[in-house]
């Protein structure tokens, strides 16, 4: 199999996994799921670190470092804010259980 085809295969299978895995999401979790998925694409940080690590001139390095900062904000902020959202769910669930 030629290399572009291998990548296409991974891509197509990932599309199906992504759809399948969240197809039963409960409506109350729409916003936290969006936020969690948002944090996951913060993994572009890996790409930003890679290009910054091979930058050969100061302007290119500076530009790549901007990408590193932005990606790190996306990733860490995303996971923390999702956790905070989900914390709000916990006490509310206890109240309904006590009713």
CA-based end-to-end distance of the chain: 60
Q: Least distance (Å) from other proteins to the CB of residue 5?
A: 11
Whose CA is closest to 66, among 51, 85, 87? 51
Range 29-48, binding other proteins (CB under 8 A) = 29-48
- Position 69 contacts other proteins (CB under 8 A): yes
Using CB under 8 A, count the residues that bind other proteins. Answer: 77
- Position 9 contacts other proteins (CB under 8 A): no
Whose CA is closest to 48, among 66, 33, 36, 24? 66
Q: Which is nearer to other proteins, 56 or 99 (CB)?
A: 56
């Amino acid at each position: 199999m030629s290399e572009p085809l291998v990548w296409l295969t991974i891509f197509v299978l990932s599309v199906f996994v992504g759809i399948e895995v969240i197809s039963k999401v409960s409506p109350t979790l729409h916003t936290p799921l969006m936020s969690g998925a948002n944090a996951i694409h913060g993994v572009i940080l890996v790409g930003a670190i890679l290009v910054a690590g091979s930058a050969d001139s100061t302007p290119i390095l500076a530009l790549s470092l901007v990408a590193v900062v932005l990606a790190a904000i996306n990733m860490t902020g995303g996971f923390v804010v999702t956790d905070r959202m989900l914390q709000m769910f916990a006490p509310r669930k206890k109240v309904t259980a006590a009713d």
